[in-house]
Amino acid sequence: MENQSFLSNRLLIGGLAITIVSAFFCASLYWFFRKRIYANLQLYIKQKGDLDEERHRLRQYKVEEVQKATQNFSKECLVGSGAYGNVYKGFFGEEGTLAVKKLHTDSYVSNEDFKNEVKLLAKVTHSNLVQLRGFCSGTGKNGAKILVYEYVSNGSLLDYLIGKGGRSLTWEQRVNVAITAAKGIAHLHEGNKPSIIHRDIKPSNILIGEKFQAKISDFGLVKTGPSGDDESHVSTQVKGTLGYLDPAYCATLHLSTLSDVYSFGVILLQLITGRPVVDTSGNQPTSHIIDWATPHLEKGSVGEILDATLLLEQCNTEMMLKMGQLGLRCVKKEPKERPTMTRVWKELQAALYRAETFKREQKMASERSLGKASQLPAHSRNDDGDDYSCSVSLNSVGLQRFQVEMDSFSFQSRNLRCLELDSLSFDIDAKSIS
Ligand SMILES: Nc1ncnc2c1ncn2[C@@H]1O[C@H](COP(=O)(O)OP(=O)(O)OP(=O)(O)O)[C@@H](O)[C@H]1O
Ligand SMILES: [Mg+2]
């Protein structure tokens, strides 16, 4: 019995001694290598951070780098300014030209808020959204907060609507801008969880790319959409621009993706009319574009409200009418009656496809008919000065198209007679051919 207790005491003492020696050994190791351990830990944290930034395609710029790219935020590089700050064109060597948005120092509460918001934004990528490339955050609460975006070269939709520098859009470009803008907004709504509500859809936030495709900007300067059980709306203070603000949202403070649909509806009306949201020029009675355009569009007529610059070219009025009427559905007072952004772009795309198919068919029919006309027998020409005429028949050719094509041949006819709706027949008096 005594032997047993002696043995267990020795074991206990032995174990204790081993533990103390091991602890001492570990402490010595740590003491000797502590600097290296710290360095490796910091390297790991930094690499993890870099990887995160890489994954979000985000780069943290140095203030000096941005200053150099924008010639110290010079007037020459200033592109425009808005509620959140100034936008500069920056030249970043191999990275090319980028847009630098220098936010007002009080735009975010802290640098930490700013960085979090920026990281969230970097995850949102779509060809119809202006891509965030990186950021730059100064030190201290009021340090410079700068966002670096891809540079969109063709100005904003607002520039085209007000005709800045003589800019204007053809009817096809207007439809293309509408479709691509709707795709970008639809991605914010449906391609992210929680969905992102833009809150400030307006022409200056729709930038125009090289191929006249829309790129939505400033979606980062708003808060993300609803999440959790009740995903239909979030209650928040009213933000947005007068004229584009959804009255249902203003009345209830319930924000949903359908408020963006309302703002987009106003833009569709502007695209076909080229009119400001509220015309204060004195040319028209001061009223909101919706009140002004609704009676015309409801009775299926677009001619009286069409942008005058569209009258200078061949305009597909049917497509413009479709776009206007879709705009009216987007601005319905009851949000639930509005279409989603995905539905909007799909409807526009289908209408454009129909319009293009029709145009192609018209062109082919016109070419076929003109081909037939050029094969007319030689005797139909009046070489002897005799008074005789030939007859040509064109199928499925619109009157306007026919005139344009004939003009290009310097060809005139005194006698023009429409026989059927889609079949045109006319006589050519040989004497009248110059
Ligand atoms: N990524 C970009 N590429 C090219 N130009 C841009 C870019 N972002 C903005 N701009 C230009 O800078 C101008 C100012 O933009 P900013 O967003 O600061 O103001 P805003 O859109 O006019 O008003 P708000 O601040 O209310 O959005 C815009 O009109 C646009 O033409
Ligand atoms: Mg903007």
Contact criterion met (CB below 8 Å) for 144 and 70: no
3-state DSSP assignment of residue 215: strand
Which atom, in ligand 1's list, is nearest to the CA of 151?
3
What pLDDT, on a 0 to 100 scale, did the predictor assign at position 174? 97
Ligand 2 center from residue 403 Cα (angstroms): 44
Phi, psi of 278, deg, nearest 5: -125, 120
Nearest-angstrom CA–CA distance, 361 and 338: 34
The enclosing H or E element of 262 equals helix 257-273
Cα–Cα nearest to 307, from 157, 154, 162, 159: 162
3-state DSSP assignment of residue 3: helix
Please say if the pLDDT value at position 235 is more than 60.
no
Helices (H) and strands (E) in the chain, counts: 11, 13
DSSP 254: E
Positions marked active-site: 200
Higher pLDDT, residue 236 or 272? 272
Please say if the pLDDT value at position 378 is more than 80.
no
Q: What is the pLDDT of residues 338-350, one digit of tens each?
A: 999 999 999 999 9
Contact criterion met (CB below 8 Å) for 90 and 100: yes
Q: What is the pLDDT of residues 305-329, one digit of tens each?
A: 999 999 888 899 999 999 999 999 9
Burial class (CB in 10 A: 0-12, 13-18, 19+), 305: buried
Q: Under 8 Å CB-to-CB from 138, ≥6 apart: which residues?
A: 63, 111, 144, 145
Which atom, in ligand 1's list, is nearest to the CA of 87?
12
Q: What is the pLDDT of residues 88-132, one digit of tens each?
A: 999 999 999 999 999 887 665 577 777 777 887 888 999 999 999
State the CB neighbour count (10 A cutoff) for residue 128: 22
Residue percentage of the chain with pLDDT more than 70: 71
What pLDDT, on a 0 to 100 scale, did the predictor assign at position 376? 53
Pocket test for ligand 1, best of 79, 127, 128, 245 (most atoms within 8 A of CB): 79
What is the mean pLDDT of the segment spanning 366-370? 84
Q: Is the peptide bond before 335 cis (omega within 30 degrees of 0)?
A: no
Please say if the pLDDT value at position 51 is more than 80.
no
Q: What is the pLDDT of residues 186-199, one digit of tens each?
A: 999 999 888 999 99
Token pair 């001694």 is found at 17
Ligand 2 center from residue 241 Cα (angstroms): 11
Cα–Cα nearest to 184, from 201, 161, 163: 201
Ligand 2 center from residue 44 Cα (angstroms): 38
What is the mean pLDDT of the segment spanning 286-295? 92
Ordered domains of the chain (ranges, CATH):
52-151 (3.30.200.20), 153-359 (1.10.510.10), 377-433 (no CATH)
Please say if the pLDDT value at position 259 is more than 50.
yes
Please give the structure tokens belonging to residue 42.
Answer: 């910091």
Protein residues whose CB sits closer than 6 Å to any atom of ligand 1: 79-84, 87, 99, 130, 149, 151-152, 155-156, 200, 204-205, 207, 217-218
Q: Give percent helix, percent strand, percent coil of the chain, each to the nearest 5.
A: 50, 15, 35
State the CB neighbour count (10 A cutoff) for residue 133: 20
